[in-house]
Structure 1
């Protein structure tokens, strides 16, 4: 029963934080530390339940994915429209980096709350720099994003492999630095999250198949459902929030969380 409660709590945390540039993975690691929910199986659980929140994005952007798929089947790759090439270019860097540094990420970064706090702080600094950078906006909407910008955003997404940096925080910051509006960067971030997380989760589940016992699967399912339900409730509000609120406010939140956790838990 205690593990089920922990799974629900972590699912709620994931659903609430996945769409904000505050690092859902970092929050899961810190909350897992507080709940004494750690180890290889716990690491796999924290990754798998992210898929629950990401599925909420799939539901929200379903028509957009169908549009992209239809264009792919028709080999229609118009320059002034978001298409499968944009998504592939944005996905490749992080997936390649994950395959190369997988052992380091899961063996060191996921096991260190201190490194998560470092990621929260450095990621927050990046967000402030990006928000205050005076760059000419060349992509007001997602359909205006170029292939070059998509690949550049994909490179910034590699930073999210460090728990605490935040995938949305890294990619939105990258978008701003590369000339997209915050709205376009946020939309693009959420759209590419589904294939990226599907790929990362599939790889992780294969590598961690020894932990996918019947008992563990029950906890995974509970966490997945909790994350999906909470994310569906929060998604519209949070998507509007991230598109309108300046990144500095999220950076401030990250600094406060990092400081409080360090003072009251790690000291």
Structure 2
């Protein structure tokens, strides 16, 4: 049966990406079916009409449906840039996805650098919002943890230690102004990393920075698997063993009530003395003003 295919924009939260819908089904790139594609984050659709084709049955995939479309794939090349190449890529209905992604890059927005090992990984915040407050029209919410890993330096999330969150709902007391807050990224499987990049979010009169009066913001690593709640919904932070990797030495000195000079999305980097295998990373520091902000937290091999 011939089903209509639509290319749906990812805006406003994923403006550089689209998703492909065939009839009622959302299609997704499956890593196991694309072994020659090194980075699913660096796959784009070719221009023009997109028509998924039924692909031949794949060994180990049973009778499940596999589709094929023409795409552009970023392949390793000399230097730090990728080489775009046209080739067919395989997709499956989202319900059959084992390991992959639904978001496909727009051809005119496809990045040419290798992605971080943490790209689009699961993220968490020290205060987990209950989402009870509506977001004003025209404003982007800042409690979406996945903004930390979406490869977009213009999106950011914030943490206010005084906000009422999930932990408070479960009985913990609220935090106080200036308490330490953190932004964390978790990996499904361990990865070897040699440097971590923190991108500051945005400063306003009421907050958005780290207060360095007592200590500089620091990067911490989880060297063992990160436990989650019984239903797997949230990390069990009380059981995570975090090790300090270093501090962000070049972060500007600041006070609790005086914002530093910071550009939106400004980058700070920590290089490790040697590669380490990790399950997660986080940046932690005292909130400046009412809250701290983070646009990206990334780790690279």
Who wins on radius of gyration, i.e. which is larger?
2
Q: Give the structure with the larger strand fraction.
A: 2
Question: When you count helix as a share of all residues, which structure comes out higher?
Answer: 1
Q: If the TM-score is normalised by the length of the shorter chain, which range does it land in?
A: under 0.3
Structure with higher RCO (Cα < 8 A, 6+ apart)? 1
